[in-house]
Structure formats: structure tokens, C-alpha cells
Structure 1
Amino acid sequence: MRTFAWILLGAGIAMAVPAQAADETANGPAKIVVLGDSLSSGLGLPAAAAFPAQLEKSLKDKGLNVTIGNAGVSGDTASGGLDRLDWSVPTGTQGVILELGANDALRGIDPKVTRAALEDILKRLKARHVAVLLCGMVAPPNYGAEYAAQFNAIFPDLAKKYDVPLYPFFLDKVAANTRLNQADGMHPTAAGVAIIVEHILPTVEAFVRAIREQKG
């Protein structure tokens, strides 16, 4: 995974807590799971610095009552995520942040295989009435323009087909930045994760609020 980094595209402190927070606390936390690979699981980082933990803290700072489970497995492909879906996303989960595909691209897996696996995940979660936020990934250009076009299209195509929100590129602002990645050049440091959280936060906040509205 060392070569992946260079091939990817490179409010005030004292704000009041939203009034909606009281209602959310009364209704219990929104239960979210991050289904992903080492990029979201926090490989090489303490648990508190991993993406799910940092995201949960940021959402709570915004007044949203949430719990975010870490269901990331290092090295997992989309097919691997599909194989473990049922036990990785337990009963009672209200939303899934789906972050898979980077390892598929690294290994040059046929985009049709990746698309089919992600689509099966979306279908099965939809059948369970679990909301999904899909995180996109970018293919390495060394596999050629045709491969990249097929792979990169997977995420917006599926988001449109299944009417789920899309965050276009999970590593936006972090990929290929040596200051924000560990020595392997691929996995974000704690500071890198913080940047990911900062940029994805508005999308996740809207996602959680939509879950709240649907459950309400």
C-alpha cells in the first residue's frame, strides 16, 4: 500500500449547544457504524484517534447524541465487507458510513466485482432499513484510464441508484500529504484523521439529522 499515496489526488469555540440536542438526548443516541478498512479503522493509531472516535466526538460537540462503532478491518475489500456485513452491523444500527474500495483499487480488482459487492451491501442494508452514507475512493492511474473511469464511477452511480448521500473522496485533503500520513505514506496520522473529520462532518451531520427525522 506504500505506493498508493503518490497516486491519489492530492465556528467559534463558545457556540451554544443546539436546542435540538435535548430532544436527541431524550430519544437516545443515534447508533452509527463505520464499515470500512484500515483507512477508517485507525491502523497505527490509538483507538481514541481513529476516525470513528474522532467523528463521534465532533458530532457530540455539535450537540448530536450519537454512538459510532468501529467496524473497520485492515486489508478488507468490498467483498470482504460484504462477507462480514451481518455481524459487523448489529441489530439496532440506524446508519452505516460505508468506506470500502481502496484495497480493491490497490489490487486492481475488476471494478465489476467491487461494484457488485458494494451494491449487495446497499441492498441488504436497505432491506434492514439501515441508512447509508457512501464514501467514494479514487483508483490509481497506473491501471490505466479505462480502469480508473470504471472504478471511479462506482460510487456516484450507486449513490444515485440507491438514493444515498455520497462523500466523493474519503481521503480528500489528506492523500499524498506527507505531513498528514504515517511513515507508510498511506494511512492518516491522528492529525490527518482530524482533517478527514473536519471535511466530512457537515455531510455526516446532515446524515445523522436525517436519521433522526425518519425515526421521529
Structure 2
Amino acid sequence: MAYAAYIFDAYGTLFDVHSAVRRHAEAVGPDGQLLSEIWRAKQLEYSWTRALMGQWRDFWALTEDALDYSFERIPSADKSLKPQLLEAYFKLDCYPEVPAVLKGLKAGGARVGILSNGSEKMLDSAVRNAALDTVIDDVFSVDELKTFKTDPAVYDMVTTAYRLYPGAVSFQSSNRWDIAGATKFGFRTLWINRARMPDEYRDLSPSMILPDLNGVD
């Protein structure tokens, strides 16, 4: 293996954040996709805002806050579905290629881990639900620091724990802003551009751009 550790963002990279609403698509109604997109956008916005103001609120609480906002934006969606949608988010589907890719990296002798804004309970549930607990060596949650990406201290959790230089770590994320932060920190970065979005943060380019995790090595 070229890298000692392969670290993955969780939400949007390993786990499909839109699978929660999709699981209840019929009940949510025709605006389900828009509801899901707003939910995700506000969840991220809340994490960035909280980090900048130094006002910690864990990612699960922000996820719930963002869903409340989304219901207000999409009045056609039944607010009584909130418990079911949160339960589904707690047990998100992983993308189909994820198990094989992680198993291959681990079989090659590398450490395989998650570095996420998610709370410890959220991540534990997602990993177990996807049966990845036998493949993932470590799960690094920002709960320990009480801030969020792209704070350099978040990426430093990996290098400190593993006693590695940043260049020995390959970091994979579907979030371009996350890739920018990890690139600035010194990781080798792979942007998993699942949504086929245009590039940005061009002064902080990834080492590689892939449509999914196939090809990570």
C-alpha cells in the first residue's frame, strides 16, 4: 500500500444521506427530494456556523434542527414523519461499492478509518447497520474536540492517533469543502464526486477526482 492509512468521511462518502427520505418517499410525497436536499444543506450550514462562533451543538442535534427547518420550508411534507426520518438517518444505507473497497484496503495492510462531523452514537449506528464494524479500525468523531471540519484540529486527530505525517494518510470525501480542508492540512486527498458537481477551491485541488470509491488505492 502506498499509504499507511485510508481515512473516509462518513456522510455522503460512505453513507447515502438521501436514503433516509427515500426510504419513506411515498409518505413524504412529491417534494421529498427537495426536502432531503434542504435537510442536508442546512445540516452542514449549521455545523460551519457553530464552529465559527464557537457555540458547540452536536451533529445529531443539528441534524434534527435541520429537519425541523426543512419541514417549515416544505409544508407539503407531513411533520409527523419526523421520528421515522430521524430513525432512518440513524441507520443510513451505505453506497454499494463501500464494503468491497474497504475490505480490499484493509486486506492490503492499511489502517482504515472514518473521520466525521457525526456524533459518536450516529457513527456507531451507521457503521453497525452497514456491517462495516469488522472492516473499520477506528472512528474519529469531532465530539472529542467540540468543533467541526474544516478546523485543522479535526484532521490532526488522525495524525496524532496514528503518529503519522499528514502525507502518509489518504483522505476520501464527497464534500469538496472537506477535501479543501484536508488538502490544506497535508493529506493526500481524493474527491469522490458522486453528485458530478463542478470543481471549486481550485487553489486547494485534490490529488484525484473519482465518481465513486472504486479506484481508491
TM-score, L = length of structure 1: 0.31
TM-score, L = length of structure 2: 0.31
